[in-house]
Structure 1
Amino acid sequence: MMDSSPHKLYHVHGYDSRQCLEDYFSDKPDMVFGDDTLKFIIENLREIFAVGHINGDILIDLSPGSFIHHLYSACEFFKNIIVLKANNRCIMELKRWVDERTGAFYWGHTSTLLQEKEENSEQFEDKEGKVRSAIQHIVKCDPEKENMTDPLVLPPVDCVISTGLLDVMSKDHDDYIRYLRKFSRLLKPGGHLILIGSLDATFLIVGKDKFHIFTYDEDFVRKALVGEGFIIDYFNVKERTAVSDLIDYKAFISIAAHKEK
């Protein structure tokens, strides 16, 4: 099928995962997205998991790029995390960090952000180490296949977490629903879906390339989840504060929902 998007598509064309980390997740002085891509994600996921009802054996992470800080809280409730990636460069970058190889991206600034929120920071555990231990498999996937991990067949899992992947893959409303339905099929009855996304965005720049982002609002994503049989348990919106021409979102959203049995 011919791509009608004027910009590149993440899962089709791929992007420089290291450049993405430097521009949107680093501790560089000129990295202006910290309140949204770092603090918002860490604090919201900590709040979502703190309730205690999202837990189980296996969690699947379906996110673009090679970031890991969205898994800090998850690894306290899931010992086994399977990471699915559509991009080979993202797999290589993530494996470099998991294996603690020379040149791996530095995430110390994000674990410090989480430590500040812990009640007993003196006994703060090595969150990066726990995430490394929890990541059991990093698997290449093809979101266009009916079974995204074909020929590997994954068992239904307790939780799927996805940070921005639906946004960068979906070309329109129908695409979003189609991918959301595939995510839903990965879950057990009663399983939980956690989504982080951006509202009213149209593009993302990584290096010299401009990538497509599907434009949607709060009402659309609520209706999409309900239409696919989810009950929304948590919904939070953070208005944008960052000043940058790299990406044009208006707000970040954090959602937790469970699949009706």
Structure 2
Amino acid sequence: MDSGSHKIYHVHGFDSRQGLEDYFSDKPDMVFAEDSLMFPIENLTKTFAEGHIRGDVLLDLSSGPVVHHLYSACEFFQHIIVLKASDRCIMELKRWLDSRTGAFNWGHATKLHLEKEDKSDLLQDKEGKVRSVVQHVMKCHPEKENMTDPIVLPPADCIISVLLLDVICKDQDDYIRYLRKFSGMLKPGGRLLLFGFLGITYYTVGKDKLHAFTYDEDFARKALVGEGFVIDKCVVKKRTNVSDLIDYKAIMFIVAHKEK
């Protein structure tokens, strides 16, 4: 299958539960924990602990029905609004938020986070806190100028975006256009916490091979600055795991703020 025939995340959909099992579970053959679980948990815990990022509303614009990146954020924001481009991801996430039978078990990720905070005995408290702060899960439409159309959200204090731009962007122009949309959803001075895979061309979920936008750190930095962001921090970790499911070269975390 050539790259032009790969499925598109928000157009064709995918098996969201299979994606969690392949990239975020605690099963023995899941080789991505260091990058998909530990890297965001460590960096977000450290970033929020510095005390500079807090506020009323945080928007989560991430790929897949993931929640582990919100464990630190829930202590510093009154409201978290999760925006998802996929109906299946919304259903999967709501199953966990409502503590329904058959929901994906995030206990292993919760323990990793609490170990970083030296609070390993508070697992239920932490998951309950996330559930209480995530007050809305909404469908978003990436291709629309207002991604939450017909609802117009007030500007947020912070946006977290985990790997979403990697899977919805077709090219550099798309990436820049979405950063512009992110900027429009933030207050002046608002923060953007951005995770991305560098050097990726595809990822696999079950039998489906999906498109990913290929870019490097230099391009991401220039794109952010070009759209009015000031980069406060950038951390890049080279890939060490071995798997044919996905072909990224490194994972990147950027903290930036929107210039006033």
TM-score of the superposed pair, with normalisation by structure 2: 0.97
Q: Residue 115 of structure 1 aligns with which residue?
A: 114
Partner-residue secondary structure (3-state), 1:226 = helix
CA–CA distance in structure 1, aligned partners of residues 129 and 119 of structure 2: 18
**Number of corresponding residues:** 258
SS in 1 for 2:181: helix
Q: Per-residue deviation at 1:234?
A: 1.1
* Structure 2 residue 9 is matched with structure 1 residue 10: yes
| Counterpart for residue 158 of structure 1 | 157
1:167: how far off? 0.5
User: Does the 8 A contact of 1:239 with 1:252 survive in 2?
Assistant: yes
The residue correspondences of 1:203-214 to structure 2 (distance < 5 A) are 203-214=202-213
Tell me which amino acid in the other structure corresponds to 1:183. F
- Structure 1 CA distance for aligned equivalents of residues 48 and 14 of structure 2: 31
Tell me how far apart the structure 2 counterparts of residues 171 and 76 of structure 1 sit (CA, whole Å). 35
Over 3 Å counting, the alpha-carbon distance change for 1:121 and 1:97 in structure 2 is closer
- Contact 2:107/2:123 (8 A) holds in 1: no
Per the alignment, residue 174 of structure 1 pairs with 173
Partner of 1:147: 146
CA distance in 1, matches of 2:159, 2:62: 10
* Structure-2 residue corresponding to 1:235: 234
Give deviations 1:37-63, integer Å, cap 9, x for gaps: 000010011111111111100000001
**Structure-to-structure mapping, 1:190-205, within 5 angstroms:** 190-205=189-204
Aligned partner of 1:86 in structure 2 is 85
TM-superposed deviation, 1:125: 6.8
- Letter of the structure 2 residue corresponding to residue 249 of structure 1: Y
Equivalent position SS for 2:44: helix
Query: How far, CA to CA, are the matches of 1:139 and 1:122 in structure 2?
Result: 32
| CA displacement, residues 10-67 of structure 1 (integer Å, 9 cap, x when unaligned) | 0111111000000000000000000000000100111111111111000000011101
Q: How far off is 1:118 after superposition?
A: 1.6
Letter in 2 for 1:157: A
Query: Does 124-133 or 135-144 show the bigger shift?
Result: 124-133
Equivalent position of 2:57 in the other structure: 58
CA distance in 2, matches of 1:204, 1:165: 13
CA contact (8 A) 1:161 1:193 kept: yes
Q: Tell me which amino acid in the other structure corresponds to 2:113.
A: L
Structure 2 residue identity aligned to 1:43: E
Do the aligned partners of 1:82 and 1:135 also contact (CA within 8 Å) in 2?
yes
For structure 2, the residue ranges without an aligned partner over 5 or more in a row are none
Larger displacement relative to structure 2 (147-156 or 4-13): 4-13
RMSD: 1.2
After TM superposition, the score normalised by the length of structure 1 is: 0.96
CA contact (8 A) 1:48 1:234 kept: no
Q: 5+ unaligned residues in a row in structure 1: which ranges?
A: none
Residues 1:139 and 1:120: Cα distance change in structure 2 (over 3 Å): closer
Distance in structure 2 (CA, Å) of the matches to 1:169 and 1:25: 20
Does residue 96 (structure 1) correspond to residue 95 (structure 2)? The answer is yes
Q: Percent identity?
A: 71
Question: Is 1:75 aligned with 2:50?
Answer: no
CA contact (8 A) 1:5 1:171 kept: no
